[in-house]
C-alpha cells in the first residue's frame, strides 16, 4: 500500500556546532571560572590572559545547517549532493538520530536503517558469525531477523569458509564484503546511505551498486549521499543539492547534477595552479600552470602546460588533458603519448604548448579541463578542473539551433549552394 503522505518531512532544520575550544573543558577550569565569577571579576578576561583554554568569548558558532526543509515520498530514491562541509552528512546524522537538530523538526514514517559506515560495531576479536549478529543488532535488526537472513548474508559476502575466524584475520576486502552484506540485508522502509560505496574493489563496488538498485526498485525509500555523480545518476530519481547549509536546488537528478557540476567543477579556482592542494599523485612532476587561450591570429584555441620536475629530467613523460563541458560530458581528450613526433623524455622544467586546429569549433559555453602528468606509467600529478574557460558565441554559426545531445564541438565547415 502506497500512501500519498510523504514518508520524510523535514521542516526548517538547523544545526549549530560550537567551533574552537569548548569552554571550561576541565573541572579545574570550571572551578576557576566559578571562583572568579564569585569574586565579581570577568572570568573570560582573567582566564584568557593566562593562556588557559577556557576563555568563553573564544567559542564561535558555526551553523552547519541553516534551515533546511524538504519532503520525500514513499519509494523515492533521493541523492544528496554537495561539496565537502556543505552539510549533507549533518542532515543524514540528524535523520538517523545520531545527533539532534538545534531547531526545526523532522517527521519520519517507517523504520529507518542508516548506513553511515560499513562495519559499524565490528569487533576485531569476534568471529565473522559473531560480528554478523553484533553488527546486525546495532543496525537495528532483531535476532530472529538475522537468523532468517543469515544464509543470504553469508552467501552475498562469500566468506563462508572463514565464519568462525576472528575478523582481525580477514583481508580488508573480506572484511568490507562481510560488513556490506549485513547492511545490504537490512529491511527497513527507509534507508539512509552515506558514501559507503567508496570502499572495496571495483568488482565489489559494482555488486554493491547492483544490490542497491535492486533495493531501490523494491519500493524502499532511500536517501543517498555521495560524491560519485555517476552512482547518483544511476540510482536516484531526484536530487537535493546542498551548499553552505542551505538547499541550493531540488529537482530531477540530471538537472541538479548538471548544475552542481557547472557550479563547482567548472568554477575558476581562486588559487594559482601551483598553490592548489586538491591534487593526487606522487608529485615527482608538478604542473605549475595550465592555460587555455584563443589565438586571434590563428583563429584557434591553444593550451599551455607548465611543469616542474623535482628530480632532473622527466623521462617517459605523458601529459593528458580532458576537455569537458560544464554541463557534463567529455568533449575531447588530448594525450601526448598519441603524438608520435612529441618527445618522450622532457627537460626538468618547461612549458608544453598544444595548438588545436582552427578546423574545430567549440560550442559557446563553459568548459573545464582535467590534467594529468605521468612518468613511467605512474601518476605524478592529477588535478580535476585545473583550468576553466569560456567560449563566446561565434558569429558564423547559430548555435542555438544545435540540440545539446547532438555534439559538443563541430568541425569548421563552409556550405555552398550552386544553382542549377
Partner 1 sequence: MAPITTIIESNKSYFNIRWREILEYRDLLWFLAKRDITVVYKQTILGPVWFFIQPIIMSVIFTVIFGRVAKIGTGGIPHFVFYMSGLVIWNYFNSVLGSSASSLIANSGLLSKVYFPRLIIPFSAVLSNFAHFLLNLAIFVVIYLYFFVNGSGFSPTWWLLALPLVIIYTAMVGLGFGLWVAALTTKYRDLRFALPFILQIWLYATPVIYPASGVVQPMLKTLIWANPVSIAVEMNRYMFTGIGGVGLSLILTGVGITAFVLISGLFVFNYVQRNFVDTV
Site residues for partner 1 per CB under 8 A? 7, 17-18, 22, 25-28, 30, 93-112, 114, 116-117, 120-121, 123, 125-126, 130, 133-134, 137-143, 166, 189
- What's the full length of the chain, in residues? 420
Q: Which residues are paired to 348 by β-bridges?
A: none
Helix 172-184 to helix 128-138 angle, to the nearest 10 degrees? 40
Instruction: Write down the least CB distance from residue 322 to partner 1, Å.
Output: 36
Alpha-carbon dihedral angle through residues 327, 331, 337, 340, given to the nearest 10 degrees: -160
Q: Which is nearer to partner 1, 187 or 189 (CB)?
A: 189
Instruction: Write down the least CB distance from residue 384 to partner 1, Å.
Output: 28
Is residue 79 within 8 Å of 227, Cβ to Cβ?
Answer: no
Instruction: Write down the least CB distance from residue 51 to partner 1, Å.
Output: 18
Cα 379 to Cα 383: distance, rounded to the nearest angstrom: 11
Instruction: Write down the least CB distance from residue 137 to partner 1, Å.
Output: 4
Q: Which is nearer to partner 1, 131 or 259 (CB)?
A: 131
Cα 186 to Cα 172: distance, rounded to the nearest angstrom: 22
Farthest-apart Cα atoms in the chain, separation: 106
Cα 390 to Cα 376: distance, rounded to the nearest angstrom: 34
Q: Which is nearer to partner 1, 102 or 249 (CB)?
A: 102
Is residue 201 within 8 Å of 182, Cβ to Cβ?
Answer: no
Cα 187 to Cα 132: distance, rounded to the nearest angstrom: 15
Q: Which is nearer to partner 1, 23 or 408 (CB)?
A: 23
Q: Which is nearer to partner 1, 106 or 380 (CB)?
A: 106
Q: Which is nearer to partner 1, 107 or 339 (CB)?
A: 107
Instruction: Write down the least CB distance from residue 13 to partner 1, Å.
Output: 8
Q: Which three cell numbers stand for residue 181?
A: 552484506
Instruction: Write down the least CB distance from residue 56 to partner 1, Å.
Output: 14
Amino acid at each position: 500500500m502506497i500512501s500519498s503522505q510523504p514518508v520524510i518531512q523535514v521542516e526548517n532544520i538547523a544545526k549549530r556546532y560550537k567551533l574552537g575550544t569548548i569552554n571550561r573543558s576541565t573541572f579545574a577550569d570550571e572551578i576557576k571560572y566559578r571562583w572568579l565569577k564569585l569574586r565579581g571579576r570577568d572570568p573570560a578576561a582573567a582566564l584568557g590572559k593566562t593562556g588557559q583554554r577556557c576563555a568563553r568569548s573564544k567559542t564561535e558558532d558555526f551553523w552547519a545547517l541553516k534551515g533546511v526543509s524538504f519532503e520525500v515520498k514513499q519509494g523515492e530514491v533521493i541523492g544528496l549532493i554537495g561539496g565537502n562541509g556543505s552539510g549533507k552528512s549533518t542532515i543524514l546524522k540528524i535523520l538517523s538520530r545520531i545527533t539532534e537538530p538545534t531547531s526545526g523538526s523532522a517527521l519520519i514514517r517507517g523504520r529507518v536503517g542508516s548506513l553511515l559506515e560499513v562495519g559499524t560495531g565490528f569487533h576485531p576479536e569476534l568471529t565473522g558469525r559473531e560480528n554478523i549478529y553484533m553488527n546486525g543488532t546495532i543496525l537495528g535488526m532483531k535476532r530472529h531477523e538475522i537468523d532468517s537472513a543469515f544464509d543470504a548474508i553469508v552467501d552475498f559476502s562469500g566468506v563462508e569458509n572463514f565464519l568462525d575466524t576472528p575478523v582481525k584475520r580477514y583481508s580488508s576486502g573480506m572484511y568490507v564484503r562481510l560488513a556490506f552484506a549485513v547492511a545490504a540485508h537490512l529491511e527497513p522502509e527507509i534507508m539512509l546511505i552515506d558514501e559507503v560505496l567508496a570502499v572495496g574493489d571495483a568488482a565489489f563496488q559494482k555488486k554493491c551498486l547492483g544490490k542497491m538498485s535492486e533495493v531501490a526498485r523494491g519500493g524502499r525509500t532511500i536517501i543517498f549521499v555521495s560524491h560519485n555523480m555517476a552512482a547518483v545518476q544511476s540510482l536516484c530519481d531526484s536530487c537535493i543539492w546542498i551548499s553552505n547549509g542551505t538547499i541550493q536546488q531540488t529537482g530531477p537528478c540530471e538537472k541538479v547534477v548538471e548544475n552542481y557540476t557547472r557550479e563547482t567543477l567548472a568554477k575558476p579556482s581562486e588559487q594559482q595552479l601551483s598553490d592548489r592542494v586538491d591534487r593526487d599523485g606522487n608529485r615527482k612532476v608538478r604542473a605549475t600552470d595550465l592555460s587555455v587561450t584563443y589565438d586571434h591570429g590563428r583563429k584557434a584555441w591553444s593550451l599551455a602546460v607548465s611543469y616542474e620536475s623535482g628530480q632532473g629530467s622527466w623521462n617517459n613523460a605523458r601529459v593528458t588533458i580532458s576537455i569537458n563541458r560544464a554541463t557534463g560530458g567529455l568533449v575531447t581528450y588530448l594525450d601526448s603519448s598519441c603524438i608520435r613526433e612529441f618527445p618522450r623524455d622532457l627537460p626538468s622544467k618547461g612549458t608544453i604548448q598544444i595548438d588545436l586546429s582552427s578546423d574545430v569549433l567549440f560550442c559557446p559555453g563553459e568548459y573545464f579541463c582535467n590534467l594529468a602528468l605521468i612518468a613511467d606509467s605512474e601518476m605524478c600529478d592529477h588535478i580535476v578542473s585545473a583550468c576553466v574557460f569560456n567560449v563566446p558565441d561565434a558569429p558564423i554559426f547559430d548555435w542555438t539551433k544545435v540540440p545539446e545531445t547532438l555534439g559538443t564541438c563541430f568541425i569548421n565547415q563552409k556550405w555552398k549552394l550552386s544553382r542549377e
